[in-house]
Amino acid sequence: MAMVAGGAKAKLGRFAAHAALATLVLIWTIPTLGLLVSSFRDKDQLIVSGWWSALSSSEQTAFGRTGTAADQVEQGGQFVIEGDFLGDGQPGAIATFGESQRNLEAFTAGETAALEDGTEFLLNEDGTYRWTSEQPFEHERGERIFFISEVPPIFTLANYVEVLTAEGIGQSFINTLTVAVPATIIPILTAAFAAYAFSWMQFRGRQILFVIVVGLLVVPLQMSLIPLLRMYNGIGEVFGADPKSYLGIWLAHTGFGLPLAIYLLRNYIGSLPRELMESAKVDGATHFDIFTRMVLPLSVPALASFAIFQFLWVWNDLLVALVFLGKRPDQIVLTSQLRELLGSRGDNWEILTSSAFVTIVVPICVFLALQRYFVRGLLGGSVKG
């Protein structure tokens, strides 16, 4: 009986753990789902309703301008102006209308409204209207009629088309790859050498240097941007080179990524069996031989884990790219190009949703390619400090 009760408790515990994990995954996924749904919605509907109402009709406020006196015709002793507010293919059905924005629900669609100037106005659900008067119209400019329309859900690829066909997007994509790939490889190789030295080489001040490196993890990136930029400008003046170059941003990302890389790789490399290292030394292998032939192949999970982190940081970076790169077409990165596409005042903010998914395609591919090493690398690096 005790074994049965213990088995039931174990099953209940596993069920609770799985339920909690599923709940966390669901909560984490909801914002991404909302972003995905919004990226396919019509711009006008994005403004008036949230993504959770994407499958229901939305109310939109608009106005139409009637015809002028030149458009009137005489019918049965009355003067009539006819037209269509939705004649340009605009979807939806008009629900109510009024003469101003303050009384949008003054009249119902299909109801003949008596206007203040003594004329009568009929607006139908399909957008067609009929304006009648016993006296000739003298309006040189059409009158505005405000209305509320019920618009069915609209899904479109227009947001993606606008982003992908914008000028400079293709070149900025290539520029971002030019920045991200070297800025991922350089710190990985440099950190791997340093991590091996901290783990298996004996030299004076090793622990102090490692503590300093770990301490650099708490230094905010923003605090070092101005000093680094001044240093780059000074070097550029001495050597007559442009400090805003790919080499500059590669070195900047390398410096910002090295502390975490050394910390993760040192923990992983330091957890490798000591007997393996000692047997290699007995066979006459040098530190370089041990590092290249034994440590690097065994450290692939840790290297892949940091590669994912570093690539994501560099790919999504905007601040460092703005500081260390210019906005020339051959230098501007994808995040900066999309920022320019939005406008200085965010006029095209609705394309942010589609822009987000355009930018995450490459990081997702990188993560899926390396994800089998991800957990192994993190867990391996946390076993031994």
pLDDT of amino acid 221: 82
pLDDT of amino acid 2: 53
Positive/negative CA dihedral, 288, 293, 299, 301? positive
Count of positions (residues) in the chain: 385
Q: What percent of the chain has pLDDT over 70?
A: 91
pLDDT-based confidence at residue 382 (cuts at 50, 70, 90): very low
Chain-centre distance for alpha carbon 126:
39
pLDDT of amino acid 344: 58
pLDDT exceeds cutoff 50 at 381: no
pLDDT of amino acid 200: 87
Helices vs strands, H then E, count in the chain: 15, 9
Please write down the long-range contacts of 292-296, taking CB distance under 8 Å and 24 or more positions apart. Answer: 295/192, 295/196, 295/269, 296/192
Task: For residue 234, count other CB atoms closer than 10 A to its CB.
Answer: 11
pLDDT exceeds cutoff 70 at 383: no
Placement of tokens 């009568």 in the chain: 120
Determine what percent of the chain falls in helix, strand and coil, rounding each to the nearest 5: 60, 15, 25
| pLDDT 10s digits, 100-150 | 888 888 888 888 888 888 889 999 988 889 999 988 888 888 888 888 888
Measured CA to CA, the distance from residue 255 to residue 266 in angstroms comes to: 17
| pLDDT 10s digits, 33-66 | 888 888 888 887 887 778 888 888 878 888 888 8
Measured CA to CA, the distance from residue 237 to residue 241 in angstroms comes to: 7
- CATH level 2 (architecture), domain 161-381: Orthogonal Bundle (1.10)
pLDDT-based confidence at residue 385 (cuts at 50, 70, 90): very low
pLDDT-based confidence at residue 193 (cuts at 50, 70, 90): very high
pLDDT of amino acid 346: 59
DSSP letters spanning 260-280: HHHHHHHHHHHTS-HHHHHHH
| Between 204 and 382, the higher pLDDT residue | 204
pLDDT exceeds cutoff 90 at 184: yes
